[in-house]
Chains A and B, each alone.
Chain A
Amino acid sequence: MPMTITEKILAAHCGKKEVAPGELINAKLDLVLANDITAPIAIKEYRATGAKKVFNNERIALIPDHFAPNKDIASAEQCNMLRQFSRENDLSLYFEVGRMGVEHALLPEQGLVVPGDVVIGADSHTCTYGGLGAFSTGVGSTDVAAAMITGEAWFKVPETMKFVYKGKAGKWIGGKDIILRTIGDIGVDGALYRAMEFTGEAIKKLSMAGRLTICNMAIEAGGKNGIIEPDEITEKYVAKRARRKYKFYKSDKKANYVEVREYDLTGMEPQVACPHLPENVKPVSALGSINVDQSVIGSCTNGRIEDIREAAKVIKGHKVHPYVRMIVIPATQAVYKQSIKEGLVDIFIDAGAAFSTPTCGPCLGGHMGILAAGEKAITTTNRNFVGRMGSPKSEVYLSNPAIAAASAILGRIGTPEELK
């Protein structure tokens, strides 16, 4: 039976020759992940079972990134739970402040998730690793607690939707625009319970950063996982960093798709998701004049070095608008260091922007840039729900790094072309 890449990876992890959509399987996990918000519940649940040993102390990643560096006493207690549990169980993948980064940027960068993996994480954006050609999906804390004991998780094999992108993307168009356009098309539950397979000539040319951005936001369409077939670009990315053996899976030519959708990127404008749902997507020129109080570059969606470079290219030689606070947050320490090396930090500071240590911070309204009532932000993050970045009376617009950077200079949502 012909299978999709998602079906092949799942079959290989439950010891079967083939699996079909709808089938319930118990899959072996290559990595289990949780953060400072979700791990405390998982740790409590784990301890309540009386379990004495985790399934594998090298395959559980605990990353304090959401409210870390600790934003208040309660957050400090939560981070401390991860720290203590990691020491008790001798977990090799605990990342302390100073070494940590935003989880979904850090794990691929460090070669800790690899093509062909099955990964669960108590964080909805765990679907990011599909950009490497892995099956990865977000779950809750209880799933992680059970997986820390068994090293397994149950899944219903999802149906796959295929998204084909053709045409030549213009300047400033990246993974973010591709995924925003897709979510705008199918809606926030357009891929509910389904695998989203991204393919086509435009994807084949896309950098690993762009691919990770696309798969990162599969959850914003309700998808179970996002996935892209690994190729030479993937090989180049993983060859130098993979800490484990990896395997490239590819969809069979005659694999079954529940739906196929095609998009032509030729002439496509940068896309912006307007409040208060990621599906409220418009081309940037259709927005009219929207003043912004804050511009954020960062997160698991767009905090990689390519994103920081793109924003720096736009900002260079300009000043942030007097009424705007621009906050740049590299997703990992390696991205931070590279930004220093390339002189990007100087560019931002000279322009009047803040440059922060890695954290999820403002993306989920945690810290490092919370909005007051009535304020508006343009941000490279992934969600614009009511209250997502602070006050329930604030508004969040989602875009790529170039648009967020140009808007910081203009004081309103706009494009690099509008800069003098």
Chain B
Amino acid sequence: MKFKGKTWKFGADVDTDAIIPARYLNTSDPKELAKHCMEDSTNPDFMKKMQPGDIIVAEKNFGCGSSREHAPISIKAAGVSCVVAKSFARIFYRNCFNMGLPIFESVEAVEGIKEGDQIEVDADAGVIRNLTSGKEFKVAAVPPFMQELIAAGGLMAYTKKKAGL
């Protein structure tokens, strides 16, 4: 799996209210949620400026706060190909693997990427290449069970198989 795109940078502790404000949670329609992705963040015009395939790069604890799966759903439906952060909040991390938004942890990559840089995330090789600066960074390994979940096609596909449905 490889993801190539332009980066948008965000700071530390981006919370799920910033990713998708609660005032839009009266629906779970991905397209509706995508319209308001990152609306209360430091980049409220994110949806006007981003292109499908772009990559979000953030500091520590991305996705903290509520358990709303609407947050990774809005990011995915917005067309963001993946998220790279120094660390992810626990429920957000779990949600991403369950619903299929690719996320990657790398402190060095976040420090070595500027907003607007073109990067390539090579999930199989476990590296992130900054195509603008030519630098390469390591990605934290995905835990084996998470790899199993991804290979099965997410938690529901995994559960269906297990339950014989």
Q: Is the CB of B13 within 8 A of A146?
A: no
Q: Is the CB of B13 within 8 A of A188?
A: yes
Interface presence of B61 (CB below 8 A): yes
**Other-chain contact of A224, B17, B60, B64, B90 (Cβ < 8 Å):** B90
Interface string of B57-79 (1 = CB under 8 A from A): 00011001111111001000000
**Other-chain contact of A149, B21, B66, B143, B159 (Cβ < 8 Å):** B159
Known A-B contacts A143-B94, A386-B40; the reply to A364 vs B22 at CB < 8 A is: yes
Distance, CA A156 to CA B156, complexed state (A): 19
Distance, CA A37 to CA B20, complexed state (A): 13
Distance, CA A37 to CA B73, complexed state (A): 14
**Apart from A45-B156, A189-B13: 20 A-B pairs, beta carbons within 8 A:** A37-B25, A37-B70, A49-B156, A49-B163, A72-B26, A74-B27, A139-B67, A140-B68, A142-B99, A142-B154, A146-B156, A146-B158, A150-B163, A189-B64, A192-B90, A219-B91, A222-B89, A386-B40, A388-B22, A392-B39
Q: Is the CB of B26 within 8 A of A67?
A: yes
Distance, CA A66 to CA B22, complexed state (A): 10
Within 8 A of A (CB), among B105-147: 143, 145
Distance, CA A138 to CA B99, complexed state (A): 16
Interface presence of B51 (CB below 8 A): no
The 6 closest A-B pairs by CB, nearest first: A74-B26, A140-B95, A142-B98, A189-B61, A140-B69, A146-B159
For chain A, the count of residues having a C-beta within 8 Å of the partner chain is 52
Interface presence of B50 (CB below 8 A): no
Interface presence of B43 (CB below 8 A): no
Q: Using C-beta atoms within 8 Å of the partner chain, give the interface range for chain B.
A: 35 or more
B155 to chain A, nearest CB (A): 5
Q: Is the CB of B65 within 8 A of A192?
A: no
Q: Which of B26, B70, B73 has the most C-beta atoms of chain A within 10 angstroms of its own C-beta?
A: B26
Q: Is the CB of A193 within 8 A of B90?
A: yes
Q: Is the CB of A140 within 8 A of B94?
A: yes
Taking Cβ atoms with an 8 Å cutoff, the residues of A that contact B are: 24, 37-38, 40-41, 44-45, 48-51, 66-67, 71-72, 74-75, 78, 121-124, 126, 138-143, 145-146, 149-150, 154, 156, 188-189, 192-193, 219, 222, 224, 277, 364-366, 383, 385-388, 392
Residues on A with beta carbons closer than 8 Å to the beta carbon of B155: 142-143, 146
Q: B144's closest neighbor in chain A, by CB?
A: A24
Distance, CA A122 to CA B65, complexed state (A): 12
Distance, CA A121 to CA B165, complexed state (A): 24
A384 to chain B, nearest CB (A): 10
Interface presence of B49 (CB below 8 A): no
A39 to chain B, nearest CB (A): 10
Residues on B with beta carbons closer than 8 Å to the beta carbon of A139: 67, 91, 94-95
Residues on B with beta carbons closer than 8 Å to the beta carbon of A219: 65, 91
Known A-B contacts A51-B165, A72-B26, A365-B21; the reply to A138 vs B67 at CB < 8 A is: yes
Residues on A with beta carbons closer than 8 Å to the beta carbon of B163: 49, 51, 149-150
Residues on B with beta carbons closer than 8 Å to the beta carbon of A222: 61, 64, 89-90
Q: Is the CB of B64 within 8 A of A188?
A: yes
Distance, CA A189 to CA B64, complexed state (A): 8
Q: Is the CB of A49 within 8 A of B67?
A: no
Q: A24's closest neighbor in chain B, by CB?
A: B145
Residues on A with beta carbons closer than 8 Å to the beta carbon of B94: 139-140, 143
Q: Is the CB of B98 within 8 A of A143?
A: yes
Distance, CA A139 to CA B97, complexed state (A): 12
Residues on A with beta carbons closer than 8 Å to the beta carbon of B73: 41
Q: B44's closest neighbor in chain A, by CB?
A: A392
B107 to chain A, nearest CB (A): 13
Known A-B contacts A24-B145, A74-B27, A277-B13; the reply to A38 vs B156 at CB < 8 A is: no
Q: Is the CB of A75 within 8 A of B26?
A: yes
Distance, CA A67 to CA B68, complexed state (A): 14
Q: Is the CB of B69 within 8 A of A189?
A: no
Chosen A-B contacts, 21 in total, with CB atoms closer than 8 Å, are A24-B145, A41-B73, A49-B160, A50-B165, A66-B25, A67-B25, A71-B26, A121-B67, A124-B67, A143-B95, A145-B156, A145-B159, A146-B158, A146-B159, A156-B143, A222-B61, A222-B89, A383-B15, A383-B66, A385-B18, A385-B65
